[in-house]
Chain A
Amino acid sequence: MLELRNVSKWFGGLPALQDVSFCMEPGQVTALIGPNGAGKSTLINCISGVDRAQSGSICLAHHPIGALPAHKIAALGVARTFQNLKLFARLSVLDNVLTGLTVAAKRSFTVSMLRLPALRHLERQLRLRALEALDDFGLAKKAHWPASSLSYGEKKRVEMARAFVSDPRLVLLDEPVAGLNTEETAQIARHIRRQRNAGHTMLLVEHDMELVMDVADQVVVLDSGRCIACGKPEVVRSNPMVLEAYLGRMEATA
């Protein structure tokens, strides 16, 4: 499904990613963990085309996507959320989720301006899909609210709905539960589990080890831009390098 080989990225001479390589199988959840500044978000940015790796290759279903711009990667069925929410504050909740269907919507200006029956029909279908996704994430009642009036936890869910609404091939989730309380975290965990059961392939960046051990089929550990371990959760968990580099440090700071 997704194959990374020797992906490297520098920010002004400082390495953020160094020779990161791993594979993801369809239908699997891969957790990407590592201490702050390890390069997790940078990796997600490189996969989604928001940023560009300077060397190495990224392949989606054997097609190289490393050099494609973000909108082309989105069109191939890669959706993502952002660590720092990127909702459109002035749009309604429903319209926010509808932007997740940009690829499915018509792109022609002329067709849109004429709004012929075929377009109306398509738009109605998209609306239904968006409402369904909102319902999945327990937000159907607030569909017409301005996104800016939601609570932080609700916004996180809107972003998830926006990512999943298009039924993407690959979803990149950057810290979906960061900043949420235990109840909200459990709620999001349920959603992630449900999406996994529905067969979605996900790359999940997360600090919450309980969630990671629970939903991940595979864990990739980054430390200072290097991939120091990769494998099944129970194996990675007992890997001494990981314990030292990550878990130990986490416990020391916790």
Chain B
Amino acid sequence: MMTARDNLLYFLYLHRTGLTVLALSVLLLVWPLLESNPYNLGLSNLIAIYAIVVLGLNLFIGYAGQISLGHAAFFAIGAYGSAIGTTTLGGPAWPVMIVVALAVSLVALALGLPALKLSGHYLAMATLGFNIVVYSILVQWDKVTGGPSGFSGIPYLSIGSVVFDNEIAFHYLVWTVAMIALLLCLNLVRSGVGRGLAALAEDETAAAALGVDTRRAKVKVFILSAVLASVAGSLFAHCYAFVSPDSFNIFVSVDFVIMVVVGGMGSIWGTLFGTALITLLPEWIEALESYKDIIHGLILVLILLFLPQGLVTGIVDAVRTRIALSRHHA
């Protein structure tokens, strides 16, 4: 017989994902009441924007088992696309965001089809090269992009009469999008598609023999991650009303990879943690500010040396195995 307590526990277990999402949503809903310092809100907003990029990148690295050192480029195209589309061309913000995301999906397709035939180092080089090209265009083509000094005067987003023009409004905007992205990613990895991707990440031959169209799956995840990065870029542009090339150089791409690695390959929840940690780290330790890139590089090397699945995932995996084995011996 199941007691009421067992029933409750079973219910909690069955709906654990939904309930965690719900709890986080409630926390985010009241967060601006608890934290009114605009600087801190700005930081948590940046975490949300980065998290959207890193969620997609984690699918690509942790699930599809590939590597990209060029996601800041997709982030850039989203940001500059929205900036130019709404300011220079005077288009409406939301439709421009969608059009830019569609354009990015085509760019990702064109880049992904040949690049994903490569693997490992070659893929890393190809995506890195792509980022350098995009960055150079942002700097050189100053008539359109504003060059090194950046692009300003980007309009705020609005829905009806609600204008997203302050940190609290940004908070609700970016975290809503981030939570939707989180939910979509959680759903994806809990489906047959997600299992196929996880299989692909571990052993391509076995995955193919089980019916996973490995090439197609890789390209699809690449496109999905690029689109998420583009949407995040658009939000970034509209929230800051200003963009400059420095937000999109290769070190930003590397930081995205570090966020994935800290959160753990293939861990959607870990992504939030990794993104938050790497975004906040320089704030907490002032000395870090000037050595940021070195420290981030060190973190990457150390984690990959000792916990190749990534920090959070590595720890969770180890604990799970421990528990399973201790139950076995009990």
Contacts and interface: CB of A to CB of B under 8 A. Distances in A.
B202 interface: yes
Nearest to A75: B211
B104 interface: no
B317 A71 contact: no
Nearest to B223: A109
A228 B83 CA distance: 72
Contacts of B16: none
Given A88-B198, A90-B266, A74 B210 contact: yes
A112 B211 contact: no
Interface residues of A, number: 42
Contacts of B158: none
A225 interface: no
B311 interface: no
Nearest to A123: B191
A43 to B, nearest CB: 14
A181 B170 CA distance: 63
B212 A90 contact: no
A149 B321 contact: yes
B160 interface: no
Interface stretch (B73-81, B182-190, B235-243): B182-190
A152 interface: no
A91 B195 contact: yes
A99 interface: yes
What is the interface of chain B mostly: helix, strand, loop, or mixed? helix
Contacts, number: 115
Given A113-B188, A115-B187, A95 B208 contact: no
Nearest to A112: B191
A190 interface: no
Contacts of A113: 184-185, 187-188
Given A50-B208, A86-B205, A106 B321 contact: no
Contacts of A126: 192
B213 interface: yes
A226 interface: no
A109 B210 contact: no
Q: Give me the 7 closest cross-chain CB pairs, A-B, nearest first.
A: A105-B192, A74-B211, A112-B191, A86-B206, A70-B208, A115-B187, A102-B211
Interface of B: 184-185, 187-188, 190-196, 198-199, 202-203, 205-214, 220, 224, 266, 309, 313, 317, 320-321, 324-325
Given A71-B209, A90-B198, 5 more contacts: A88-B198, A88-B203, A104-B192, A108-B193, A149-B324
